[in-house]
Amino acid sequence: MTTAAPGLRPANPHFSSGPCAKRPGWTLQALKDALVGRSHRSKPGKAKLKLAIDLTREILEVPADYRIGIVPASDTGAMEMAMWSLLGARPVTMLAWESFGEGWVTDVEKQLKLKDVTTLKAPYGEIPDLSKVDSDTDIVFTWNGTTSGVRVPNADWIKADRKGLAICDATSAAFAQPLDFAKLDVITFSWQKALGGEAAHGMLILSPRAVERLETYKPAWPLPKIFRMTKGGKLNEGIFVGETINTPSMLCVEDYLDTLNWAKSAGGLKGLIARADANAGAINDWVARTAWVDNLAVDAKTRSNTSVCLKIVDPAVTALSVDAQWAFVKELVAILEKENVAFDFANHRDALPGLRIWCGATVERSDVEKLLPWLDFAYAKAKESLAKAA
């Protein structure tokens, strides 16, 4: 480790886990064809929204009989729509191993107040025992735990002949990890995650089984207009061809179209996954040779290739109180922000003290590689401050 500043800086210092880095080469010029000043319900407005859905299907390789809709309020809105509209018909199994999964548990237990709920939890860095999941219950889980860097290794633990619905928050996994759609009935994500789009819009993907539930089950609680996906007991098909429930930002739509077209040029889903894997691989190689840091995810099979979470293992830091550890992390981050090397890469406020580096496909591996010696530099500087304070 050295206190001498490295010579090279990342060309793009954006390593935030949401909103995430824009695609390589992005400028405001990408929005020049945005349909501003026009109704989203106009013919060209509907065409752009439909194109966004069609490109999503193409790049994510979504089955033809799955519906894809653009919904309000980001991934959170999409998940809330799904849970409030679909849950309550069967017992539910909730999985949680980080803050967003915990949030869905709170919604189901405290807001929906469902009674027949089984909750399987694991601490940060680990994942619940997936063999204990009953696929005849409805299942709610995050594919990639954004605040812990722990993802499910696959969907083999979900039965193909399940009776329940599998509801998956895939917002840090979509466009970076292969999603087994045959095992999933509801898939949600947001534009601002893996492709670096603009915020406030969510995507909701429904299997035929989910549609059947919507058309045959009426929840015991009232649904606000923004959650309603049926009319007269039938699916509101308009939502899934671009007729959004509320007014979308056509600037954001244009940005999403731009990034989807970039994704095609980057090799589609296979190319996007390869880019994320390469970025995460660079960090993992550095972790293997660096004494003061380790992956938060215990099992290599469950380590995220997007929201890579790291813990500090130097006893001089781990012996500190949690508040003091957070202060150390914040100082480390501040050093690199002042140098314009990396922004917003501290771990989530609800997680453990540590670092979280976004490695999705819109990040260049060369920038990740340039960041790593700067992390050693900032760590050494923060250690110097810690020693002086002692």
Q: CA-to-CA distance for 10 and 282, rounded, in angstroms?
A: 14
**pLDDT at position 390:** 75
Residue 70 predicted with pLDDT over 60: yes
Q: Which CATH class is domain 268-389?
A: alpha beta
CB neighbour list of residue 367: distance below 8 Å, 6 or more residues apart? 10, 11, 12, 13
161, burial (CB in 10 Å: exposed 0-12, middle 13-18, buried 19+): exposed
pLDDT band at 3 (very low <50, low <70, confident <90, very high): confident
What are the pLDDT digits (tens) for 335-359?
999 999 999 999 999 899 999 999 9
**pLDDT at position 1:** 47
H or E element, residue 261 = helix 250-265
CATH code at 28-264: 3.40.640.10
What are the pLDDT digits (tens) for 211-257?
999 999 999 999 999 999 999 999 999 999 999 999 999 999 999 99
What are the pLDDT digits (tens) for 112-160?
999 999 999 999 999 999 999 999 999 999 999 999 999 999 999 999 9
Domain-wise residue ranges, the chain: 28-264, 268-389
Of residues 222, 249, 202, the one with CA closest to residue 77: 202
Q: CA-to-CA distance for 116 and 302, rounded, in angstroms?
A: 29
DSSP string, 144-191: EETTTTEE-S-STTS-TT-SS-EEEE-TTTTTTS---GGG-SEEEEET
- How many Cα atoms are found within 13 Å in the side-chain-facing hemisphere of 361? 26
